[in-house]
A and B are shown apart, each in its own frame.
Chain A
Amino acid sequence: QSVLTQPPSVSGAPGQRVTISCTGSSSDIGAGYDVHWYQQLPGTAPKLLIYGNNNRPSGVPDRFSGSKSGTSASLAITGLQAEDEANYYCQSYDTSLTGWVFGGGTKLTVL
């Protein structure tokens, strides 16, 4: 059971907007720690998608955006494309565990 809670799956049609939530607690996201997001395409290693809550690394399309509020964070994907079909993970830090933690992951299906 992950410290950060994500929906197991989300789906959307091409061109639509989807959001993926990441819910934590007062010992992780709510304590002010940054949230980062990773994309894992089938059969590949994870890739950094969003860092520092809402920053995109070079090369990541602006269709991807992140936000954080209170004990939760969200990843939004607009203009959904078939190539976005992947697993998405949020990551933060947990002060009670004294370690870095991931969400359980969300599988995005493009219909």
Chain B
Amino acid sequence: EVQLVESGGGLVKPGGSLRLSCAASGFTFSIYGMNWVRQAPGKGLEWVSLISSSSSQIYYADSVRGRFTIFRDNAKNALFLQMNSLRAEDTAVYYCARGARSITPHNWIDPWGQGTLVTVSS
């Protein structure tokens, strides 16, 4: 069974930093692209970032580019999101979610982890 378990969420002050982790199991992690998708409280879904299986291709939403960094450790089946210069509008549940083996515009996202809540507030 595919499992994605996020951790690292919490309360952080504006301007602060946080690193999210996602532990993957039940599939060959090293051959899949991986995403972060977020959902602000009571709001819809927002794609945040995508990294290819080999880390050779990395994409970010405009809202986080330059502040967030996605990276992965295939030896440890782990995905990360380093979040710097956090703002109140970054408050959301952050989901780790599997992408496709090859990155194309037609990619879908499946499955999703249960999410970890990040709250940016003073």
Contact = CB atoms under 8 A, between A and B. Distances in A.
B112 A45 contact: yes
A111 to B, nearest CB: 23
Interface string B55-67: 0000111100000
Given A46-B95, A99-B60, A89 B44 contact: yes
A48 B110 CA distance: 6
Interface residues of A, number: 28
Given A45-B115, A46-B112, A47-B110, 8 more contacts: A44-B114, A45-B112, A47-B111, A52-B108, A97-B62, A100-B50, A102-B45, A104-B44
Interface of A: 2, 33-34, 36, 38, 40, 44-48, 51-52, 57, 87, 89, 91, 93, 95, 97-105
Given A33-B106, A99-B59, A47 B112 contact: yes
The 5 closest A-B pairs by CB, nearest first: A93-B105, A48-B110, A36-B108, A105-B44, A34-B106
A51 B110 contact: yes
16 contacts: A2-B44, A36-B108, A45-B112, A45-B113, A45-B114, A46-B112, A48-B110, A51-B108, A51-B110, A89-B45, A91-B45, A91-B108, A93-B107, A97-B61, A97-B62, A105-B44
A97 B67 CA distance: 17
